[in-house]
């Protein structure tokens, strides 16, 4: 299975909510928060290598961060996709899928954000492998879901169609809702049938490209027919894959995971991770300004 799976690591986030710790020159994917003092990107890369060989890993990043990517992944070569400008996750994923299709055909791809904290890597990799096996045999987009512990308004939510899991612990998704208001988030958590969207997506390349062609044709058609230029990319919609595709497709499934997941999108979440990892930090006015 591992030789048939390709990983796409997304490092395009700007980390605006973690400023001044993160910056345009050094977004949060290149911060070091774990006890091994590796960057979040390098830790993500290490997990990806447990799923598939290094040659099967693509990285989508802003061209301004090419040096940071190559420092942590010196052998990346042609597998580095440099975005001329930042255009959120939908264009990046569509471009990576088209590149995989061109080079390798209808392979399975696992899209992995580079700015997350995973405590139990074995359980995480097991979830990815289950999702990949399901995607191999079905025309499906599989997302990673986490049982919510509080009514977050910063995460997307996945509603399972039934409490009983389908084959292999995979749930059919009834609804996909991106970043609800607090009242709605509280209702979701109380319902017990909603998961947080952990930002990982697993699919066959033809499946995701079909979804882009149907629901985001401006992205699909422009990237497919033309050479990637700064002007072309700048004119693409600045939209997340959640809004562009995931909320609209019907063939979406979820694999529920429990592996100590944190989306490091706030100082509160960052403090929690740093304390778990035994890392000291300097804090001013509620913001972390330096990790020691």
Residue 68: C-alpha distances to residues 34, 41, 53, 269, 273 (Å)? 18, 9, 21, 24, 22
The string of pLDDT tens digits covering residues 72-115 is 999 999 999 999 998 999 999 999 999 999 999 999 999 999 99
Q: Per-residue pLDDT averaged across 171-200, rounded? A: 90
Angle ∠(165,210,14) on CA atoms, nearest 5 = 80
Q: Residue written as tokens 């612990």?
A: 169
Distance between CA atoms of 43 and 55, rounded to whole angstroms? 17
Q: Residue written as tokens 């001044």?
A: 20
Least Cα distance to 94 among 178, 154, 10 occurs for: 10
Quick one: three-class SS letters along the chain? Answer: CHHHEEEEEECCCCCHHHCCCCCCCCCHHHCECCCCCCEHHHHHHHHHHHHCCHHHEEEEEEHHHHHHHHHHCCCCHHHEEEECCCCCHHHHHHHHHHHHHHHHCCCEEEEEECCEEECCHHHHHHHHHHHHHHHHHCCCEEEEEECCCCCCCCCCEEEECCCCCCHHHEEEEEEEECCCCHHHHHHHHHHCCEEEEEEEEEEEHHHHHHHHHHHCHHHHHHHHHCCCCHHHHHCCCCCCHHHHHHCCCCCEEEEEECCCEEECCCHHHHHHHHHHCCCCEEEECCEEEEEC
Domain residue ranges in the chain: 2-291
Tell me what the pLDDT averaged over the chain comes to: 91
Say yes or no to pLDDT of 2 above 60: no
Q: Per-residue pLDDT averaged across 30-36, rounded? A: 94
Say yes or no to pLDDT of 290 above 60: yes
The pLDDT value given to residue 90: 96
Least Cα distance to 82 among 11, 5, 7 occurs for: 11
Q: pLDDT band for position 38 (50/70/90)? A: very high
Distance between CA atoms of 241 and 171, rounded to whole angstroms? 20
Least Cα distance to 33 among 126, 117, 158 occurs for: 117
Least Cα distance to 219 among 64, 90, 127, 71 occurs for: 90
Query: φ and ψ at 60, to 5 degrees?
Result: -105, 120
The string of pLDDT tens digits covering residues 198-253 is 989 999 999 999 999 999 999 999 998 878 889 999 999 999 998 999 989 999 99
Residue 165: C-alpha distances to residues 64, 110, 122, 132, 148 (Å)? 43, 21, 21, 16, 17
The pLDDT value given to residue 287: 93
Beta bridge pairs of residue 282: 290
The string of pLDDT tens digits covering residues 127-149 is 999 999 999 999 999 999 998 88
pTM: 0.93
Least Cα distance to 207 among 157, 143, 161 occurs for: 143
CATH topology of domain 2-291: Spore Coat Polysaccharide Biosynthesis Protein SpsA; Chain A (3.90.550)
Q: pLDDT band for position 179 (50/70/90)? A: confident
Q: pLDDT band for position 3 (50/70/90)? A: low
pLDDT more than 70, % of the chain? 96
Residue 70, CB-side half-sphere exposure with 13 Å CA sphere? 11
């Amino acid at each position: 299975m591992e030789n048939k799976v390709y990983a796409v690591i997304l490092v395009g986030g700007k980390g605006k909510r973690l400023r001044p710790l993160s910056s345009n020159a050094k977004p949060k994917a290149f911060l070091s928060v774990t006890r091994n003092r590796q960057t979040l990107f390098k830790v993500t890369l290490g997990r990806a290598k447990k799923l598939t060989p290094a040659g099967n890993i693509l990285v989508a990043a802003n061209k301004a961060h090419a040096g940071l990517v190559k420092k942590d992944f010196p052998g990346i070569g042609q597998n580095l996709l440099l975005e001329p400008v930042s255009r959120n996750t939908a264009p990046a994923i569509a471009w990576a899928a088209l590149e995989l299709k061109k080079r390798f055909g209808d392979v399975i791809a696992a899209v992995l954000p580079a700015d997350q904290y995973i405590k139990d890597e074995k359980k995480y990799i097991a979830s990815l492998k289950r999702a990949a096996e399901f995607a191999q045999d079905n025309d499906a987009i599989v997302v990673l879901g986490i049982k919510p512990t509080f009514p977050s308004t910063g995460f997307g939510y996945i509603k399972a169609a039934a409490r009983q899991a389908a084959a292999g612990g995979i749930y059919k998704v009834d609804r996909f809702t991106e970043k609800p208001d607090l009242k709605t988030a509280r209702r979701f958590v109380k319902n017990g049938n909603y998961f947080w969207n952990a930002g990982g997506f697993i699919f066959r390349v033809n499946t995701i490209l079909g979804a882009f062609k149907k629901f985001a044709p401006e992205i699909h058609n422009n990237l497919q027919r033309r050479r990637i230029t700064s002007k072309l990319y700048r004119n693409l919609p600045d939209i997340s894959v959640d809004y562009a595709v995931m909320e609209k497709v019907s063939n979406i499934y979820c694999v529920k995971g429990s592996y100590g997941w944190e989306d490091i999108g706030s100082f509160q979440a960052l403090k929690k991770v740093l304390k778990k990892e035994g890392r000291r930090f300097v804090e001013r006015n509620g913001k972390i300004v330096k990790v020691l």
